[in-house]
Structure 1
Amino acid sequence: MNADTATQLRLLDLQALDTALSQLAHRRRTLPELGAIAAHAHQAAELQNEVVDAQTRLSDIAAEQKRLESDVDTVRARSSRDEARLQAGGLPSRELESLQHEIATLERRQSTLEDELLDVMERAEEAETALTDATRKHEAVTAEQQKLEAVRDATWAEIDAAIAARTPQREALAADLPGDLLALYEKARAHGGTGAALLRQRRCEACHIELSGSELSAVRSADPDAVMRCDNCRAILVRTAESGL
């Protein structure tokens, strides 16, 4: 394949644009904020689970506390009624003995329930503290994640603008090249990542390997318009006065 020197030189301009676009795309994919955002999102999810667990524990404890308070009220009411009957007097001895026994049993029951209620209230306080702590941590991590996302979005917008500016340039330059030459360039770029490279001082600027032996002889003897390729990386070798031939 042949192409005049000026046309081959335009391949270097195309390669420069493709390199810039590739670097922009790589930067967009590998922003340090992306890893940090993912880590914060994972941590936020774990903390949200802690918040939900703490809320559930607190709800269960509140239900237990309500039940115990109701039981205490019931026992107190029963005790009050028994005390009133006892104070009223006039009860047969057998019934009086039974009533006194019931009052003593209710007192013990009330004491047990009040101890249980105190324990539940202590656990409720601990659950409240755990919920407050988990909520505070979740809010802090979420706020930091939002800051990172804002930085990411701003950087993405900057990168996207740069890509949008270079893409039409790339399309216009590619459209102005001969179809067969462009196809070869794209094939070379797909093979090694670089479609065309300057040959500088007998060294391919794509793979940085110096030409020698038969490869160097072939390049030296080739017609100036002949399209040459690096035997190592398959990039199109663009020859200039700097090639050292």
Structure 2
Amino acid sequence: MTVPGITAPPATQARLLDLQRIDDELTRIAQHRRRLDQARDIAAAEGERVALRRTAADRRGELEDLRARIGRLEADVRTVEQRLDRDRSRLATSSSAKDVQGLEQEIASLRRRREALEDDQLTLMEQLESVEAAAQAVADQLGALEERIAALRTDREDALSGLTAQQTDAAERRVALAAELPADLVRFYDQQRTRYGIGAARLVGAVSEGSNMALTGADLAAVRGAPADAIVLDPESNCILVRS
């Protein structure tokens, strides 16, 4: 099918292929930018960071609880020690057999109480050491992850910066090329590209590179029979066919 009202010499039509190549380049750059903006590796790392931060908060809570319990045990041990010192002083000065017997029983009880408290304290200290090691491991993992996220973001920003430069260069080349072509031809090319995804493609033999399909006999005959300066369309992809 020919396009009424628009004509261009074959050499001018051929330059639409250069325009299409630039537009393909711009499309690839835009797609790459979208993939970088949606960077799954960064999103996954940030999700991992959320989980690690939650774990780190849990470890801190466990440490605070253990340290508080150890502090209470230390206070209880000091109280028992004070009572032992008091009872030993009283025992040293007592002359009553009954008082001596009572003090000795109380001192024995206090010693058993002190031993139990110290055993509990030792158990909690071992738990504290274990939780401190776990908390440090999480902190190390979190630090390494923060560094990886920062590196990923830097890489993404560098890549985006490079794509921006490529995009600017391609856009400038497109503007310059479009300015050298007939305005009505460029408008029609843009219209087809916007509607169908491709604006121009070569016809190689009987095959359209726009659809990668061979034209039927009737369509091929119509294309070959059209004037050299006529704008003809691929019946499958609706792009401008640039004839060799």
Give yes or no for the alignment of 1:163 onto 2:158. no
Give yes or no for the alignment of 1:42 onto 2:47. yes
Match of 1:222 among 221, 226, 234: 226
Q: 1:197 aligns to what SS in structure 2?
A: strand
Give yes or no for the alignment of 1:53 onto 2:61. no
Q: 1:206 aligns to what SS in structure 2?
A: coil
Amino acid aligned to 2:219: E
Give yes or no for the alignment of 1:194 onto 2:177. no
Deviation at 1:36, TM superposition (A): 2.8
Larger displacement relative to structure 2 (230-239 or 21-30):
21-30
**2-structure distance, mates of 1:90, 1:198:** 121
Unaligned segments of structure 2, at least 5 residues: none
Q: 2:201 aligns to what SS in structure 1?
A: strand
Percentage of pairs with the same residue: 36
**2-structure distance, mates of 1:230, 1:109:** 97
Q: 1:182 aligns to what SS in structure 2?
A: helix
Match of 2:31 among 23, 26, 29: 26
Deviation at 1:165, TM superposition (A): 1.1
Residue in 1 that maps onto 2:146: 142
Residue in 1 that maps onto 2:210: 206
Alignment: residue pair count = 239
Deviation at 1:176, TM superposition (A): 4.8
Q: 2:235 aligns to what SS in structure 1?
A: coil
Q: CA RMSD in A?
A: 2.4
**2-structure distance, mates of 1:227, 1:217:** 15
Higher relative contact order (CA 8 A, sep 6+): 2
**1-structure distance, mates of 2:35, 2:211:** 24
**2-structure distance, mates of 1:181, 1:96:** 118
Matched-pair contact (CA < 8 Å) for 1:198–1:205: yes
Residue in 1 that maps onto 2:241: 237
**2-structure distance, mates of 1:98, 1:231:** 113
What do residues 23-60 of structure 1 show as CA deviations (whole Å, max 9, x unaligned)? 122223335x9333333332233223222222221122
Matched-pair contact (CA < 8 Å) for 1:191–1:234: no
Give yes or no for the alignment of 1:120 onto 2:116. no
Distance 1:92 1:219, change over 3 A: same
Residue in 2 that maps onto 1:243: none
Deviation at 1:89, TM superposition (A): 0.5
Residue in 2 that maps onto 1:131: 135
Please, what TM-score do these two structures have when normalized by structure 2? Answer: 0.86
Residue in 2 that maps onto 1:63: 68
**2-structure distance, mates of 1:131, 1:222:** 79
Deviation at 1:214, TM superposition (A): 2.4
Matched-pair contact (CA < 8 Å) for 1:44–1:141: yes
Larger displacement relative to structure 2 (140-149 or 56-65):
140-149
**2-structure distance, mates of 1:98, 1:174:** 110
Please, what TM-score do these two structures have when normalized by structure 1? Answer: 0.86
Q: 1:30 aligns to what SS in structure 2?
A: helix
Q: 1:207 aligns to what SS in structure 2?
A: coil
